[in-house]
């Protein structure tokens, strides 16, 4: 994964320390002068947040990280974070401090869509919804990109319903940092999560509940009366698209019910290398365009395109040489 050379804007060269884990109250707002926050300071930031509560991490992020949004699919961890932000906002006597970004894949459960509306209403949280490029409904998606695309080309599906809409959201909204619902106890590539990360694109990721387990989150939801997805009462623990989410078996991990047909998969694309996914998608698109032109010309063989490229186009084609098999998980 390529490193990002440019610095990331933040609000202090070295953010003030936050309360230790024994504190249940988030710190009050502090004045901060925008400074430079880059990878060289990441270890120091996480060291300062090592004993902070989720509320403390959230308060630190709100006070010291610009362009902050919460990306959420309204899972339990994200809901707990939203509730904590709402409580902090009330104590500061202000509107909900962190806007929400929801990626509508067009294949969510009805219960998930209903929950999104309930959360927006309860917390009066600004909610920004982004969908796959150029479509608004499932019917439009399938007409443009094909039916059951997750079965025929899962990586392209992930790019279209999650990765591209997320990047578009970040660009349109001016997002510099996002609050996520990832936790170490979810295992796989999340097992070593720190409170703060910077991914391959330079996006800052805040993981306020990274040290909590599933039961910790569930207890908070019940104690605080946070609205949640009713599918959880049926035994689901992690809920994604309806076509790829199943009930986990007894003893299985909480994300075992995701991507039922692909047990080696642990992420949907949002936490992979964006640049590699974009190159691979564009390469496939270019190949499809070539094939369509060859077919229109009546060529029987499609393997080698009859299209000629000038030097600029050839260089672009070469640059798109990454394949999905080369993808590496990002931060």
Q: Of residues 57, 127, 149, 268, which has the active-site annotation?
A: 268
d(CA 259, CA 268): 9
d(CA 116, CA 255): 21
Phi-psi region of 190 (alpha: psi -120 to 50; beta: other; left: phi over 0): alpha
Q: Please, which residues bridge with residue 129 across strands? A: 102
Angstrom distances, CA of residue 324 to CA of 15, 200, 262, 267, 272: 38, 16, 15, 14, 11
Task: Detail the DSSP E strand segments found in 135-278.
Answer: 177-179, 196-198, 204-206
d(CA 232, CA 75): 10
Q: What are phi and psi of 64, to 5 degrees?
A: -130, 0
Helix (H, G, I), strand (E, B) or coil at 178: strand
Pairing of strands 177-179, 68-71: parallel
d(CA 19, CA 81): 18
Q: Is 210 part of the annotated catalytic residue set?
A: no
Whether 4 contacts 42, CB under 8 Å: no
Residue reference for tokens 């040489």: 321
Question: How big is the CA angle at 140 (ends 137 and 144), to the nearest 5 degrees?
Answer: 140
Helix axes 76-91, 214-224, angle to 10 degrees: 50
Pairing of strands 204-206, 196-198: antiparallel
Helix (H, G, I), strand (E, B) or coil at 132: coil
Residues belonging to the active site: 268
């Amino acid at each position: 994964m390529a490193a990002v050379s440019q610095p990331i804007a933040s609000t202090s060269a070295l953010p003030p320390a936050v309360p230790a884990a024994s504190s249940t109250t988030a710190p009050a707002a502090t004045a901060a002068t925008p400074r430079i926050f880059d990878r060289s300071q990441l270890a120091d930031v996480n060291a300062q947040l090592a004993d902070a509560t989720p509320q403390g991490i959230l308060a630190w992020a709100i006070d010291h990280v610009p362009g902050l949004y919460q990306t959420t699919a309204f899972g339990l961890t994200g809901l707990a974070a939203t509730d904590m932000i709402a409580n902090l906002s009330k104590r500061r006597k202000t509107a909900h401090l962190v806007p929400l970004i929801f990626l509508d894949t067009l294949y969510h459960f009805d219960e998930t869509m209903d929950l999104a509306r309930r959360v927006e209403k309860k917390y009066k949280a600004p909610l920004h919804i982004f969908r796959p490029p150029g479509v608004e409904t499932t019917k439009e998606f399938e007409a443009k990109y094909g039916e059951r695309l997750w079965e025929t080309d899962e990586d392209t599906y992930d790019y279209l319903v999650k990765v591209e809409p997320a990047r578009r959201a970040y660009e349109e909204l001016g997002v510099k940092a996002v609050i996520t619902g990832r936790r170490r106890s979810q295992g796989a590539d999340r097992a070593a999560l720190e409170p703060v990360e910077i991914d391959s694109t330079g996006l800052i990721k805040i993981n306020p509940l990274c040290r909590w387990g599933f039961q910790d989150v569930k207890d908070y939801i019940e104690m605080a009366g946070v609205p949640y997805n009713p599918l959880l009462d049926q035994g689901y623990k992690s809920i994604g698209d309806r076509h790829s989410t199943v009930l986990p078996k007894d003893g299985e991990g909480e994300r075992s019910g995701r991507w039922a047909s692909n047990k080696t998969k642990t992420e949907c694309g949002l936490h992979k290398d964006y640049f590699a996914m974009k190159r691979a998608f564009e390469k496939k698109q270019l190949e499809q365009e070539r094939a369509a032109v060859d077919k229109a010309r009546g060529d029987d063989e499609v393997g080698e395109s009859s299209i000629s490229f000038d030097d600029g186009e050839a260089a672009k084609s070469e640059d798109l040489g990454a394949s999905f098999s080369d993808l590496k998980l990002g931060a």
